[in-house]
Structure 1
């Protein structure tokens, strides 16, 4: 493509200095048809793609290709047809004699046409989205992969992030309680993906069967729950963005902390500082918009919620109770008794008839023995 500078020189020579088109062509070393084109356009018009037409060789087979691509929607994504595989089937099963390029171009055009389009959404105050992410960091001098709970208020982009050693029921419950405390109230509704911590089963009509622990959390705080479509992260795009934002801004470079309390203090500080930001397209800071969110939140209930994972089990002959692949001791007088194990983020309590008979610091290893020597005296 010729430069605008050359267009100026040629057009001035022909239209101002009155040179003929052939004389201008010889003067500037271009074809005389190019000079004619330059006189018609003030700037290079660029390449104009002709409207796409289907190759005559491929036209009789487009229905077959469409049927293959439509059937692929019900197949695992890693076992769908590539353009090359479609070409092989067309040749082997239907006598197609054309080449790969025309098949590839048609498949690409169909795939582009089938891509989803979305509508920008406006969010009402006091509605939230929740998701979980994972990242690496140095905790207590060791490099570990930790998980972090994110709650986002889409109306204001207010956020809460808290890290945990594992992604489990007790961290999921504790994350909600910490977020409600941070925001000073409970959102009217919370949107989730279909995590097994909250959803035990998706029924045939699309309804969700909640887990016992999630049902107890919802009954205590009385928020409405909503669930995105399976494998559709865009249904909760705000919190998906928060998961990525937190990893890029709060966890790069890799965070270094003495323990999870110290790490979470840093994350909380990052959430608070972010409230001073004025995001693209907004005239108010996050903190100013959060005032509308917090004003519409439901009040925190009286009494505390027991954010733990409960398991009924039996004390072994070694006066041990197994929880999350680790063995915890209890006094020998409770041997062979049925007990309730309550797993919290930072501790494990073993109860009998409502009384706590043993309490230990939570261990996140595997196949370890956590004991109190006094239990065996």
Structure 2
């Protein structure tokens, strides 16, 4: 390869000074064929391959190499063959005698030939893309993986992010409800990957069978759906890029919050703040370019979608229903009956018909038992022998005065005292913990150790009136007979 200086000298000598090609070849020591190339080009044209590279040492092995590379497409990326591993297999299994560099060059050229090219896309206002990402977060002092929902409007690059304890059906639905509220409307269409939350089955012709919950969500908000081809992340490249952006910029350093509500308030503030940014190649900030997006959105329905998973099940003999591997209590009156469980992000609600019969904080543990002690009190009133071993009452965080009252009632009345203590606990079905606690404290101070006394004192506290405790309120108490003092009794003591 000759330099551009040589090109200049040869071309001046021949074109300006009239030197023949034969004479130029003798003067510059260059072949006449090369002189003709120099006269045809103003500068070196660069190296141009006229035929494929031949690698005789690989003959007979290229088919094996190609098959290994094809098989690797169906396995996880981190378990695919490296050039070194293919070299070792060819050497050990097929008697390959060549070097690894020849093999590496062949694999590199194959991979370049297989890389897909893409067409840059322009996005109309009012359309969205959705995906989930995952990041570490410290919630309530516990380090955990926190999946986060991302909705982006590609026209403006505006983004909404919300984190959840798990990537579940109810998180998927709640993410949509929250994103629609954040943007103030419903996108005309949304692009998804083929998540099993939305797609129950992909048919042979590429049509999707939607899940029941996704169909309900779509029917409520009336947006069009589009699904990317399997393993074609470029078809929703905007949201995949925003998933990475959100993780790097919104969640570094690792966020630390007391609960998910606090974390999500911080994420929403960061999404709003990002609308002040001006992206490369754009003349306007995201917030300005968001205005056409917002104008194109569909008006929100009057009532938001009920973002939960609904499951029909049956309460068992110990008044528990199972949801997502954990057991939740219901009132004992509903044991063995059909009920419906609604699983939300942070709560579980159980209903019988149109009546809500139980509410619990949701557990994301495994095989947990979540009790409401009040559910079991009617049964314990009948079966007081189970009071001391009742699992629903074991971890009930009650004020210390409750235990004192329990001990005194049982000491004075035995089994009947246990029953009266359960009756006192049942006051919590009607009154607040504060009211019942105040009634028990007053009863202990007045040494009125009985259910009727506690009930009266609770009512007095609620109605803010002084208590009236008399023998008429306690007909079961023995009447005291007060006799006139006999002086002879004292004389007997003096004589002793």
TM value normalised by structure 2: 0.62
Partner SS, residue 290 of structure 2: helix
Q: Which residue of 2 aligns with 1:18?
A: none
- Deviation of the 1:126 alpha carbon: 0.6
- Deviation of the 1:98 alpha carbon: 4.2
- Deviation of the 1:205 alpha carbon: 1.6
Native 8 Å contact 1:127 1:190 kept in 2: yes
- Deviation of the 1:84 alpha carbon: 5.5
Change beyond 3 A, Cα 1:91–1:359? closer
Q: Distance in 1 between matches of 2:198 and 2:343?
A: 17
Partner SS, residue 267 of structure 1: helix
Q: Which residue of 1 aligns with 2:16?
A: none
Kindly indicate whether residue 262 of structure 2 is the aligned counterpart of residue 262 of structure 1. Answer: yes
Q: Distance in 1 between matches of 2:208 and 2:72?
A: 23
Q: Distance in 2 between matches of 1:256 and 1:83?
A: 42
Kindly indicate whether residue 272 of structure 2 is the aligned counterpart of residue 290 of structure 1. Answer: no
- Tell me whether 50-59 or 286-295 shows the greater mean CA deviation: 50-59
- Deviation of the 1:156 alpha carbon: 0.3
Deviation track 1:154-185 (CA, whole Å, cap 9, x = no partner) reads: 00001101111111011110000000011011
Unaligned runs of 5+ in 1: 1-6, 8-32, 34-39
Deviation track 1:196-243 (CA, whole Å, cap 9, x = no partner) reads: 111112222221111111111011111111111222222211111111
Q: Which residue of 1 aligns with 2:331?
A: 331
Q: Distance in 2 between matches of 1:66 and 1:367?
A: 49
Q: Distance in 1 between matches of 2:81 and 2:160?
A: 42
Q: Which residue of 1 aligns with 2:190?
A: 190
Q: Which residue of 2 aligns with 1:76?
A: 75
Q: Which residue of 2 aligns with 1:162?
A: 162
Q: Which residue of 1 aligns with 2:454?
A: none
Q: Distance in 1 between matches of 2:89 and 2:175?
A: 52
Structure 1 segment 1-377 matched on structure 2, within 5 A: 51=49, 53-55=52-54, 57-58=56-57, 60-61=59-60, 64=63, 68=67, 71-72=70-71, 75-76=74-75, 83=83, 98-377=98-377
- Highest Rg: 1 or 2? 2
Q: Distance in 2 between matches of 1:109 and 1:229?
A: 26
Native 8 Å contact 2:132 2:149 kept in 1: yes
- Deviation of the 1:134 alpha carbon: 1.3
Q: Which residue of 2 aligns with 1:20?
A: none
Native 8 Å contact 1:189 1:223 kept in 2: yes
Partner SS, residue 304 of structure 1: coil
- Tell me whether 285-294 or 299-308 shows the greater mean CA deviation: 299-308
Partner SS, residue 56 of structure 2: coil
Native 8 Å contact 2:65 2:86 kept in 1: no
Q: Distance in 2 between matches of 1:361 and 1:93?
A: 59
The size of the alignment, in residue pairs, is 337
Q: Which residue of 2 aligns with 1:11?
A: none
Deviation track 1:78-112 (CA, whole Å, cap 9, x = no partner) reads: 67665456667777998866443323212211211
Q: Distance in 2 between matches of 1:358 and 1:231?
A: 43
Partner SS, residue 336 of structure 1: coil
Native 8 Å contact 1:57 1:98 kept in 2: no
Q: Distance in 1 between matches of 2:76 and 2:366?
A: 35
Q: Distance in 1 between matches of 2:176 and 2:137?
A: 23
- Deviation of the 1:364 alpha carbon: 2.0
Structure with the bigger RCO (C-alpha within 8 Å, sep 6+) is 1
Q: Which residue of 2 aligns with 1:21?
A: none
Native 8 Å contact 1:137 1:143 kept in 2: yes
Q: Distance in 2 between matches of 1:128 and 1:315?
A: 42
CA RMSD of aligned residues (A): 3.0
